[in-house]
Chain A
Amino acid sequence: MNILKPTSSARLIASRCITLPLSVAQRRTNSTAVEPPPAGGHLPSVATSEHLRTRREAALRTPGIKWADEDDTSPPRTIVGGRETRKMNTYQAIRDAMSIALAKDENAVVFGEDVAFGGVFRCTMGLAEEFGKERVFNTPLTEQGIAGFGIGLALMGHTAIAEIQFADYIYPAFDQLVNEAAKIRYRSGGSYNVGGLTVRTPTMSVGHGGLYHSQSPEGFFMGATGLKVVIPRSPIQAKGLLLSSIRDPNPVIFMEPKILYRSAVEQVPIDDFELPLGQAEVLTSGNDLTVLTWGTPVYHCETAIHMLNSPSPPLETVVPKALRQAKVELIDLRSILPWDIETVVQSVSRTGRLVIVHEAGMTAGAGAEISAEIQKRCFLKLNAPVKRVTGWDTPVALQFEKFHIPDAIRILDAMVETLTY
Chain B
Amino acid sequence: MIRPSNSLLARAPVVLRRSFSTGIPRRNDHLPTTNSPIITKLDFFNSVTGNDTQIPTYRLLDGVGKPLDGAQLPEIDEAFAHRLYSNMQLLPTLDNVLYNVQRQGKISFYMTAHGEEATIVGSAAALDMQDEVLGQYREMGVLLWRGFTLDSVMAQCFGNEEDTSGKGRQMPVHFGSPEHHFHTISSPLATQIPQAAGVAYALRRSPTRRSKNIAACFFGEGAASEGDFHAGLMLASTIPSPALFIARNNGFAISTPSTEQYNGDGIASRGPGYGIDTLRVDGNDVLAVISAIREARKRCLEQGRAVLVEAMTYRVGHHSTSDDSFAYRARSEVEDRKRIDNPITRFRLFMESRGWWNNDAETELKARLKADVMKAFKRAETMKRAELGELFTDVYGGQEPWNIKEQRQELSRLVKKYGTIWEPWQKELSKFRNNGQDLMK
Contact = CB atoms under 8 A, between A and B. Distances in A.
Contacts of A109: 201, 205
A206 to B, nearest CB: 13
Contacts of B19: 116, 128, 133-134, 137-138
Given A11-B2, A175-B191, A249-B397, A151 B184 contact: no
Contacts of B194: 142, 144-145, 147-149, 151-152, 176
Contacts of B16: 18, 116-117
Contact of A148 (B166, B170, B183, B198): B198
B22 to A, nearest CB: 12
Contact of B165 (A116, A133, A189): A189
A187 B184 contact: yes
B328 interface: no
A191 B205 contact: no
A286 interface: no
B195 A151 contact: yes
A300 B413 CA distance: 43
B394 interface: yes
Interface in B179-203: 183-184, 186, 188, 191, 193-203
A30 to B, nearest CB: 18
B225 to A, nearest CB: 14
Contact of A152 (B170, B202, B393, B397): B202
A149 B306 CA distance: 14
Interface string A265-300: 000000000000010000000000000000000000
Nearest to A116: B19
A398 interface: no
B201 A139 contact: no
B198 A151 contact: yes
Given A176-B194, A183-B186, A155 B20 contact: no
A263 interface: no
Interface size classification for chain A:
35 or more
Given A148-B194, A148-B228, A155-B195, A189 B13 contact: no
Contacts of B258: none
Interface in B394-408: 394-399, 401-404
B402 A185 contact: no
B421 interface: no
A188 B165 contact: yes
A338 interface: yes
A134 B205 contact: yes
Given A152-B195, A187-B169, A187-B186, A142 B401 contact: no
A148 B176 contact: no
Contacts of A180: 186, 188, 191, 195
Interface in B376-409: 393-399, 401-404
Interface in A142-163: 142, 144-145, 147-158, 160
Interface residues of B, number: 63
Interface in B100-143: 132
A403 B269 CA distance: 52
Contacts, number: 200
Contacts of A338: 396, 401-403
A184 interface: yes
B42 interface: no
Contact of A250 (B132, B228, B398): B398
A305 B195 CA distance: 47
A190 interface: yes
B239 interface: yes
Nearest to B191: A180
Interface string A62-100: 000000000000000000000000000000000000000
B340 interface: no
A248 interface: yes
Give the residue among A166, A175, A187, A250 with the most B Cβ atoms within 10 A: A187
A156 B213 CA distance: 13
A248 B401 CA distance: 13
A176 B178 CA distance: 21
Interface string A300-336: 0000000000000000000000000000000000000
A330 B4 CA distance: 43
Contacts of A190: 167, 393-394
Nearest to A248: B398
A188 to B, nearest CB: 4
A148 B201 CA distance: 12
Contacts of A145: 194, 197, 228, 230-232, 234-235
18 contacts: A18-B8, A116-B15, A134-B205, A144-B227, A145-B235, A150-B198, A152-B198, A152-B215, A158-B202, A175-B188, A179-B188, A180-B191, A183-B186, A185-B396, A186-B394, A188-B184, A189-B169, A341-B403
Given A145-B235, A152-B195, A192-B178, 16 more contacts: A5-B1, A116-B19, A137-B20, A138-B18, A142-B231, A149-B197, A152-B198, A152-B202, A155-B183, A158-B202, A176-B191, A187-B166, A189-B163, A190-B393, A226-B396, A249-B398
A-B pairs, 9 with minimum CB distance:
A152-B198, A148-B194, A145-B231, A249-B397, A156-B202, A338-B401, A189-B167, A137-B19, A5-B1
